[in-house]
Amino acid sequence: MTCSLLFTGSTVGSVVGTILLERIVNFLGQFYPSLNHCTYLPAVPFFDRLFTKDVSAALPCGVGYSPAKARFSSLVLGGLLHPLFFIIMGTARNYPSLLLAYAIAAFARSFWTGDCRNFYVVSTPKKPLGVLLGCWCIGSFSAPLVCQTLMAEGIPWKHFYLGSLVISVIALSLTIFSFRPTRHEFLADRNAALDAMRITPSVHSPGTDTMIHPSHEEKVRDSSAHRADARSPPNTLLLALSMHYQWAFSLFAFIYSGSETTFQGFIVTYLLTNRGSSSDTVGYVSSGFWGGMAAGRILWGYYCTGLTFTQRKHIIHACTGVAFLMTILIWFVNSTIENALSSAVVGLMYGPIFPGTLGLCNDVLPKDVHMVSMAILTAVASAGSAVFPFMTGIISNMDGMRIFCYVTVSQTVAMFVLWLFFPSSPPVRVLNPA
């Protein structure tokens, strides 16, 4: 139960991040279109007076919105906040500090899982969301092995978190290198903003005697592809929450994430207490679960682009059915080896479910709410990761770990039945809320 409270801290951070996501992203994407150079700070006069000599000339022309700048700034913000988790975990001396660390980590991840990671990846032609989430699982598979190896050598577990700061620096460096706005992106967003403001794209470049004249091809491209992104997007949080399918997919994500976290969080304890497994090797069962999930998500990301909506829906349904059978085997077969193999299969079947749910949700809901919709799904999934393990921990304190199988079996049944009610083909989209 005490460990489950940490997931509650994650839920709080995720919910706060989801509520503030749209406002922060819109703020970070603001820029002065009349300036002839890209600035990474938001269009706030205080910042620009420090770094821009011509801010007074930029103010009368108004403020535009740059999707490339918003994406880059949000990713960097998350990359700067997330290392605080490792610092607090590595130096914490009390339990409230751990709760704060989990809340900060979830708040930082809300920028990656909402706007800047999932939303960006699903907008690319190949939509490799399954591969991306599979890489996440590879980290989840590797981290317990590394941590357990260090602890076996007598190294304090806190040093594992401090050592992870090196990976955070590498990740932040790669993020800056990969997502920094290019000159082409800046000009495209700039011309689109000027076009939306009804200002001619031929603008005098401050500090020079030249005029910027975009080509005819750039004008056509910018007016068609970037007109919608010229100004800050409208508030779509309430619009997404008013759609029935948003709530349906969120409920499924709530149950799925709760089932995933409950399974991987308690399977080791269950094998120790109810199967008499060896404490020296049982920890690798959790890595087997994450290894199976990594394989499932990578395979899904590789093959899902060639599947239709109906095929993806049926595959996810079959995955929930096989996962149900594996939980039944864990319940009735008294064998550590078989239970470990079943755990790996459960991870393999769980792998495609979350990226598949995100993809189907995007196919069902209007494009305008995709960014906020994925942030909501992630926040609700985080809530499920907190509620179900917490409930399982409380009940197991009274009735023992035998209730683990009751919980996991009922969760897979709930997912299987709920998925029956989702459409087998994308419905006709409407502009008004569903």
For the chain, the domains span 31-65+182-229, 109-154+235-419
Note if the pTM is more than 0.85: no
| Mean pLDDT for all residues in the chain | 79
Instruction: Please give the DSSP secondary-structure letter assigned to residue 115.
Output: I
- DSSP string covering 123-135, please? TSSS--HHHHHHH
Average pLDDT over residues 38-51: 65
Rounded to whole angstroms, the Cα distance separating 319 from 202 reads 56
Res 119: pLDDT: 63
Q: Which of 46-60, 340-354, 395-409 bottoms out in mean pLDDT, i.e. has the lowest?
A: 46-60
Contact 160, 37 (CB under 8 A): no
Contact 268, 278 (CB under 8 A): no
Q: Which of 133-142, 182-191, 193-202 bottoms out in mean pLDDT, i.e. has the lowest?
A: 193-202
Res 9: pLDDT: 82
| Alpha helices by DSSP H, 82-181 | 83-91, 95-111, 118-122, 129-152, 157-179
Res 273: pLDDT: 87
Confidence of residue 118 (pLDDT cuts 50, 70, 90): low
Statement: 109-154+235-419 belongs to CATH 1.20.1250.20: yes
Instruction: Please give the DSSP secondary-structure letter assigned to residue 247.
Output: H
Residue 301, φ and ψ in degrees, nearest 5:
-65, -30
Average pLDDT over residues 346-352: 94
Average pLDDT over residues 113-133: 65
Contact 259, 389 (CB under 8 A): no
pLDDT at 159 over 70: yes
Count of residues for the chain? Answer: 434
Most confident of 63-72, 83-92, 268-277, 407-416: 407-416
